[in-house]
Amino acid sequence: EDISQAISDNLEANGVIVHHTSSLNSIRKGEDCLEVVLDFEDGHCDVLEVDVVLVAIGRVPNTSDLGLENVNIEPNQRGELDITRHCALDDFRNCNIFAVGDVSNEGMKLYNAAELQGRHVVEALYGNEEIELDYSNMATLMFFQPLVASVGLNERMCQERGIAYKHRY
């Protein structure tokens, strides 16, 4: 939320129309355009005729063709795999299947979270089971204009925990 407003402001300053209080209902192919149907929080619906659509709704786990049914593993409602503290899909000692990154239900859906989880799995496999998976100091980089980066807790998290903080943007 804290950085998303700055990104949104920058997009709008560069001519992008951002529909903050809407959800995408559908996209239809018109004769010479795309018809985007938006449902707004206040209850009204709007149809936009556009040339290009950018849908930025996050990562979707790709678990449908992994054959998980063959090992009695079922994804949750979002298609994610529920993991233990060591990224295992079951008790660490009874299962040799691990999930990291976009398919797991833990952490942000970013490459560096997947890398952190993968390293954590290796540590656990080599006996370092007491190490906790900690996302609090993980760096984040988003490729926008301007570039956006962060390390550690975001502004909202600091406020919720009563932690003094400084931010620059």
Structure token pair of residue 96: 């040799």
For residue 92, the model assigns a pLDDT of 47
Q: Do 82 and 121 sit in the same domain of this protein?
A: yes
Residue 103 domain flag = yes
Which residue is associated with the tokens 């786990």? 61
What range defines the domain where residue 108 resides? 68-125
Residue 105 maps to a domain: yes
The rounded distance, in Å, linking the Cα atoms of 130 and 64 is: 32
Question: 140 lies in a domain?
Answer: no
The token duo for 37 is 């149907």
> Tell me, what's the pLDDT at 163?
92
Query: Does 58 fall in a domain?
Result: no
Residue 6's pLDDT is: 79
Q: In what order do the strands lie in the sheet with 34-40?
A: 22-29, 34-40, 45-50
Q: What is the pLDDT along the chain (169 residues), one digit of tens a residue?
A: 567 787 888 889 989 888 888 988 999 999 999 999 999 999 999 999 999 887 766 677 888 888 888 888 888 888 888 887 667 776 544 467 888 888 888 877 777 888 888 988 898 888 887 778 887 777 777 777 777 777 777 788 888 999 998 877 5
Looking at the domain assignment, is residue 59 inside a domain?
no
